[in-house]
Structure 1
Amino acid sequence: MLEIMDTTLRDGEQTSGVSFSMQEKLSIVHLLLVDLGVNRIEIASARVSDGEFKTVKRITDWAKGAGYIDKIEILGFIDKGASLKWIKDVGCNTVNLLTKGSYKHVTEQLRKTPEQHLEDIKAEIYLAQEMGLNVNIYLEDWSNGILNSEEYVYFMVDNLKDLPIKRFMLPDTLGILNPHTTWRACRRMTKRYPGLHFDFHAHNDYDLAVANVMVAVEVGVHGVHVTMNGLGERAGNASLSSVIAVLHDHLNVETTIKEEKLNRVSRVVETYSGLIISANQPIVGENVFTQCAGIHADGDNKNNLYYNDLYPERFGRVREYALGKLSGKANIRKNIEALGIELDEADMTKVTNRVIELGDKKEVITQEDLPYIISDVLRSSEKDKQVKIIAFAFVLSKGVRASASVRIEVNGKEYEETAPGDGQYHAFSKALWKIYTKLDKPKPDLVNYSVIIPPGGRTDALVQTVISWKFNGKVFKTRGLDADQTEAAVKATEKMLNIIEDM
């Protein structure tokens, strides 16, 4: 079975601006090994800092108790045993020893002959053996080496293959390979050394990392290196989720990865790293299981004509149907059915036309908005609202706190309050909740508040305010659209008030 080695916590943390805390690293380790089923993880580089030592020690202590210590690996260097001692002291059993895989790196960076470097490597391996450490070898810059100094690569492996090395790891350090060169390069290694275990480590500089991994597996490598969400320096590494989908579907290769856990783990790493996943990122992107065109939704109603093997349930997700200017009746109907609403053909046409009209204005339309669009179109929105924000006014002056006055109608009766706050919306919220306190009505928690402004710097652009709420254990979003940010937030809040009336 193919080995999957995740290096999110080592190579992935080399992403510019990414630094995981101790608790975040412990959480990621648990998610990767226990929840996801990754075979091995590379968690650090040796001798980085005292803080890193303490973090890695916490991880290895947990791994020993949980039975995962043999799945933990640390990058080490040719430094006369200093890295090996660090790795041994921290409680890890495996060193991934960084050596030079190209003639250019040996002669120009180390300024040594291949023979001198080989002797240094051997000394480090023998010392690791004495210390009871398992050894894997990274041949750094191997892709350049096998393309431009093939004999040097063979010289190194010929002289190391009989030493106590578990894995020879072949990195495309600078991301220079393509599927054709990957095939030739990896094939040379697996054909010349059929008895050795080879790992392939791809970088994504040309957006070919996943394709290169697929080809490397085709020609016989035994393990591949990945990161969650493709984290890594420069353009990143091969993304775990994409690699797994390709291996399972295109090569029918078995792995231990639990596909249904991929999206959840990806979202946790997204939160910890602070790097937002692109909406069109394969497998884990927000939009990848969303159909936009109405013809696609129609085809899904007719024996799933627009489905492929990447069905969302495999990855713990569900298929969605976007609402916008490309929406047809089939798209609208899919969303309305999900809400348990029934419309006749005439009303469906009216709603579809309204969604298209809003989509032309580039408004983001969600399933949660549909009941309000339907109410508006069918001229019953005012009647159906249990809570209406009748009026509001703000006072904002330099040097004093903002204040807001709010008048609302609840089930036909009006209430009004005024409150100060740290900004207009905060003051509005405080006034609103004063009314709800008097009415002894529960209120939700505000989880997140974001403002979306179309690019281009237009001062007359519409502003969308998106607010996440938590109420009765459920998290949901409401959106408001207006030329004014605060008024858009008020509209989103009114939507929320009516939603919680029915929860």
Structure 2
Amino acid sequence: MLRFAKSNLLEQHAYNYSLQDVSTPNLYRDLYPYTEVPKTAFNHRHVPLNVPEELWITDTTFRDGQQSRAPYTTEQMVDIYKLLHRLGGDKGIIRQTEFFVYSKKDYDAVLKCMELGYQFPEVTTWIRASKEDYKLLKNLGIKETGILVSCSDYHIFQKLKMTRAECMEHYLSVLKDALSAGIIPRCHFEDITRADFYGFVVPFAGELMRLSRESGIPVKIRACDTLGLGLPYPGVALPRSVPGIVYGLRHYAEVPAEWLEWHGHNDFYKGVANAGSAWLYGAAGVNCSLLGIGERTGNVPLEAMIFEYISLRGTTDGIDTTVITEIADYYRNVLHYDIPHMTPFVGKSFNLTRAGIHADGLLKDEEIYNIFDTKKILNRPVAVAVSNTSGLAGIALWLKENMNITAGKNDDIVRYIKGWVDAQYDGGRISSISDEELSDLVDAYRQEE
């Protein structure tokens, strides 16, 4: 079938991929030998960039993010939900968030967050593809739920002990229950980067689109890179290709951009790059968690995709980036969560310098060594730690930022502190000088004047 498309070209749409109900699982042993590092294979097939008209972020802090840390209390979830609302703004750049409903505290959090009446982020839930799980939603008033539909043969054969046909039939029966109740299902295609794309993923997605047409209710798809195996590179082969997965779901299964989102993990340090790639090749949504907290190495950090969004769009669209610092403070001070100091945007040291040569540049012009105006954008002024490598410039910068004292590198107060610092390290000290120690030195210098 030929169709005149948005590309202003006749495009072929005669693709009809049927389920391949194989007798043995396809585990892609050439790519995933298990006793070796996974392989990166190319087929040199390039797909076009296809950025949706709208891009947004969805949040999994209370679901995937809660699987790898101490559980949040109901009150803490409500607090964080309010921060997400402020961060994403009225345009809903943070479009949705999802909750478990298996415990009373999670269930209560869903109700309390819904009672706040915020349009964004919309409160959604997550369940397994189980009729028993579905019963948990019947009296909740939820409009959309995530449903786990694992799609690799690792899960279908090895975990669920089913054939592909049996698995698809089981999934569809649960999804039909959701549709009959008017609930939008968001199908979590777990382990998509190890799945037979044309033998199961596309045929299953095609069936979901058929169900949507019949019911008149959207059926959304979340492409889940469960082990962080996805690759953002052009020309890389399936099933690892993020561009290929997103293009294939859009082009062959005809999943609309607004019904498609990417959920990635960071096992191979590609979480953010893969999420950005998903946006560029046609998924409207990327699923993230605050601070990247999630299974194993974590999810895509939500704060990272906030900056990716602003960078790609050239506008904040109502995002309040200073809330990121409030979120970091909440995790540190209320939840007592240890954020690694060098974590971008939220770590204590993300805009802190210890090198004297950097401090010298910052004294002359902050732009030389700071990524952007961190005081304006994150309410985090540039910082300096004084150590054996800070030099006179580092001490002068510390005085300026912490004591509002403008002093040159050769001023007496700078040299006074530098002499004390040098004596500390000559005596064997290995730790940085604390702000309290430096403040006491300023007081001592003033008393000696």
TM over 0.5: yes
The 5 Å alignment of 1:324-403 reads 324-338=387-401, 339-341=403-405, 345-347=410-412, 348-358=414-424, 361-376=429-444, 378=445, 381=447
> Structure 1 residues 90 and 274, CA, compared in 2 at 3 Å: closer, same or farther?
farther
Looking at both structures, which has the greater relative contact order when contacts are Cα pairs under 8 Å and sequence separation is at least 6? 2
Using the TM superposition, give the Cα deviation of residue 321 of structure 1 relative to its aligned residue in structure 2, in angstroms. 1.9
Deviation at 1:6, TM superposition (A): 0.9
Count of aligned residue pairs for this structure pair: 373
Q: Which has the higher strand share?
A: 1
Asked if the contact 1:174–1:203 (Cα under 8 Å) also holds between the matched residues in 2, the reply is: yes
Structure 2: how far apart are the matches of 1:52 and 1:367? 41
Residue 271 to residue 121, structure 1, CA distance change in 2 (3 Å): farther
**Is 1:44 paired with 2:104?**
no
What one-letter code is carried by the residue in structure 1 that aligns with 2:416? K
Question: Is 1:140 equivalent to 2:190 in the alignment?
Answer: yes
The within-5 A match list for 1:106-145 is 106-145=156-195
Which of 130, 134, 147 is residue 97 of structure 1 equivalent to? 147
Equivalent residue number for residue 128 of structure 2: 77
C-alpha distance after superposition, 1:81-124 (max 9, x if no partner): x3333123123221111112223322332233333333333332
**Structure 1 range deviating more: 234-243 or 99-108:** 99-108
CA-CA distance at 1:139 after TM superposition: 0.8
Superposition TM-score, scaled by structure 1 size: 0.67
What corresponds to 1:485 in structure 2? Answer: none
Do the aligned residues in 2 keep the contact of 1:190 with 1:219 (CA within 8 Å)?
no
Q: CA deviation at 1:253?
A: 7.7
Alignment correspondent of 1:311: 374
1:215 to 265, 277, 281: 277
Comparing 285-294 with 33-42, greater Cα deviation is found at 33-42
Whether 1:178 aligns to 2:231 is yes
How far apart, in 2, do the equivalents of 1:312 and 1:340 lie?
A: 15
> Residue 355 of structure 2 aligns with which residue?
293
| Equivalent runs, 1:49-64 vs 2, <5 Å | 49-60=103-114, 62-63=115-116
For 2:248, the equivalent position in structure 1 comes to: 188
CA change 1:282–1:356 in 2 (3 A) is: farther
Counterparts of 2:341 and 2:381, CA distance in 1: 15
Structure 1 residues 273, 174: closer, same or farther in 2, change over 3 A?
A: farther
Deviation, 1:233, is 1.6
Q: How many angstroms apart in 2 are the aligned matches of 1:187 and 1:252?
A: 25
Code of the residue aligned with 1:313 in structure 2: it is: K
Counterpart amino acid of residue 44 in structure 1: F
Once residues 329 and 88 of structure 2 are traced to their aligned partners in structure 1, the CA distance between those partners, rounded to angstroms, is: 13
Inter-CA distance 285–43: structure 2 relative to 1 (3 Å threshold):
same
**Aligned mates of 1:13, 1:22 — CA distance in 2:** 12
Matched with 1:158 is: 206
Shift of 1:295: 1.6
CA contact (8 A) 2:60 2:98 kept: yes
| 8 A Cα contact 1:14 1:233, kept in partner | yes
For 1:221 and 1:74, locate their aligned partners in 2 and report how far apart those are by CA, in whole Å: 21
CA distance 1:243–1:352, shift in 2 (3 Å): same
Residue 262 of structure 1 pairs with residue 324 of structure 2? yes
**Secondary structure of the corresponding residue to residue 238 of structure 1:** coil
2:353 is aligned with what amino acid? Q
Residue 212 of structure 1 deviates from its aligned partner by 1.5
| Residue 79 of structure 2, aligned match among 3, 18, 27 | 27
Distance 2:335 2:295 in 1: 13
- What letter matches 2:151 in structure 1? G
Contact 1:336 1:342 survives alignment (8 Å): yes
- Distance of 1:236 and 1:138 partners within structure 2: 17
The 3 A distance-change label for structure 1 pair 253 and 346 is closer
For 1:283 and 1:182, locate their aligned partners in 2 and report how far apart those are by CA, in whole Å.
26
Give yes or no for the alignment of 1:12 onto 2:65. yes
CA contact (8 A) 1:35 1:258 kept: yes
Query: Measured at CA, do residues 302 and 274 of structure 1 come closer, stay the same or move farther in structure 2, by a change above 3 Å?
Result: closer
Q: Distance in 1 between matches of 2:435 and 2:397?
A: 10
Tell me how far apart the structure 2 counterparts of residues 312 and 342 of structure 1 sit (CA, whole Å). 18
**Structure 2, gaps ≥5 residues long:** 1-53, 234-240
What amino acid sits opposite 2:113 in the alignment? I
Structure 1 residue aligned with 2:296: 234
Deviation at 1:222, TM superposition (A): 0.7
Q: State the superposition RMSD in angstroms.
A: 2.7
Deviation at 1:184, TM superposition (A): 3.4
Aligned 8 A contact 2:232 2:242 in 1: yes
- Cα deviation, 1:332-378, whole Å, max 9, x if unaligned, reads 222223424465735132322323443561343244433422454x4
SS in 2 for 1:88: coil
Please say if residues 229 and 270 of structure 1, whose CA atoms lie closer than 8 Å, have aligned partners that are also in contact: no
Cα contact 1:69–1:92 (8 A) shared by 2:
no
> Which letter does structure 2 place at the counterpart of 1:153?
V
CA deviation after TM superposition for structure 1 residue 172, in Å: 0.6
The correspondence of residues 406-445 of structure 1 with structure 2, limited to 5 A, is none
Matched residue SS, 1:244: helix
**Preserved contact between residue 124 and residue 146 of structure 2 (Cα < 8 Å):** yes
Change (3 A) 1:356 1:198: farther
Change (3 A) 1:42 1:341: closer
- Matching residue of 1:277: 339
Cα distance, 1:297–1:51 mapped onto 2, change above 3 Å = closer
* TM-score normalised over the length of structure 2: 0.75
Q: Give 1:285 shift.
A: 0.3
**SS at 1:43 equivalent:** strand
The residue matched to 2:173 in structure 1 has which SS?
helix
| Distance (Å, rounded) in 2 between the aligned partners of 1:245 and 1:55 | 28
CA contact (8 A) 1:326 1:356 kept: no
Residue type of the alignment partner of 2:123: I
What are the Cα deviations for residues 208-243 of structure 1, in whole angstroms up to 9, with x where unaligned?
211221222221211011111111121111111122
Q: Secondary structure at the match of 1:87?
A: coil
SS in 2 for 1:318: coil
Could you say what secondary structure the match of 2:221 adopts? Answer: strand
CA–CA distance in 2 between the matches of 1:139 and 1:371? 55
